[in-house]
Amino acid sequence: MHIDLGGKSALVTGAARGIGRAIAESLAGAGANVLLADVDGDALDETRSAIEHAGGIAATFAGDLTRTDASQQCIETLLRRYGSIDIVVNNAGYTWDSVIQKTTDEQFQSMLDIHVIAPFRLLRAASEFIRSQTKREREEGEIVTRKVVNITSISGTDGNAGQAGYASGKAAVIGLTKTLAKEWGRYNVTVNAVGFGLIDTRLIQPMDNPETEITIGHRHVHVGMQAATREAALSHIPLGRLGTPQDAANAVFFFCSPLSDYITGEVLICGGGVHF
């Protein structure tokens, strides 16, 4: 079955690499016009170039979405470039792990800022367009279904030792998802979440890999997993392998497509059957 998203305008946050890039490429490959948002401008440009080389349409918004004004600027960029908001994928995020006695206030707050406050601000910024546009469409006898997909994790649904901040942020976005599904059903917007298990990105690479140090503002944060922990976790995945970014993107794409037009307020776990 071919899914045609031609004419749709999509925002994907955390789109420079990994899962976000795979999501953006999938949407663009189906014909959507995609705004790529990420803090890493150079990587964003590489992703945009790859999408355009494949025949897709993409633009970029380089900025830190945890800044108070960034969400509004991002939505304004989307509307200025494409004139509509049809799909929003809140994918941006990272891990900053510690057991609770070693977790600082800054560390905990940073996890909430990126995983739930940034999505909240983006959706709030989008709400004026969505409400007014839906009213206009109904007056013209047109029904348009819009899509929001928030990203959570099995850390948010099941908890995970060493991830008090990350798990709290990912649990909170589930509450946001279910609430917006109830508020925005009247505007014909489906709001769902995809929870990832162990997807093979830099967030779960062995910690001796140089890519596991990332720069967020003035901070240098070590992500990744201990090699032994990674191997042990792999043994608990019923499907017997780590997920790929494309596996993750496929689950998100389902919620962005017409196949899910009568599904809202749900959390789909894409984790190969694993539970912590």
Among 21-30, 187-196, 220-229, name the one with the lowest average pLDDT.
220-229
Res. 208: pLDDT tops 90: no
Predicted confidence at residue 2, as pLDDT, reads 87
Predicted confidence at residue 225, as pLDDT, reads 65
Average per-residue pLDDT for the chain: 93
3-state SS class at 270: strand
In a domain, 232, yes or no: no
Res. 243: pLDDT tops 70: yes
Number of domains in the chain: 1
Antiparallel, parallel or unpaired: β 87-90 and 9-13 = parallel
Q: Which residues are catalytic?
A: 166
Residue 209 near residue 226 (C-beta atoms within 8 A) = no
| Average pLDDT of span 26-33 | 98
In a domain, 3, yes or no: no
Q: What is the dihedral of CA 125, 126, 131, 133, to 10 degrees?
A: 130
In a domain, 259, yes or no: yes
What are 39-91's pLDDT values in tens digits? 999 999 999 999 999 999 999 999 999 999 999 999 999 999 999 999 999 99
- Confidence band of 210 (pLDDT split at 50, 70, 90): low
What is the DSSP secondary-structure string of 70-122?
Answer: HHHHHHHHHHHHHS---EEEE-------B-GGG--HHHHHHHHIIIIIHHHHH
Which is more confident, 169 or 210? 169
- Confidence band of 224 (pLDDT split at 50, 70, 90): low
In a domain, 203, yes or no: no
Enclosing domain of residue 254: 9-197+244-270
In a domain, 84, yes or no: yes
In a domain, 276, yes or no: no
In a domain, 2, yes or no: no
Predicted confidence at residue 212, as pLDDT, reads 60
CA 144 – CA 249 distance, rounded (Å): 23
Q: How large a percentage of the chain has pLDDT more than 90?
A: 84
In a domain, 151, yes or no: yes
Q: Could you tell me how many residues make up the chain?
A: 276
What are 110-141's pLDDT values in tens digits? 999 999 999 999 999 999 999 999 999 999 99
Predicted confidence at residue 203, as pLDDT, reads 72
Please give the span between the terminal C-alpha atoms of the chain, in angstroms, as a whole number: 34
Q: What CATH number does residue 34 fall under?
A: 3.40.50.720
What are 137-171's pLDDT values in tens digits? 999 999 999 999 999 999 999 999 999 999 999 99
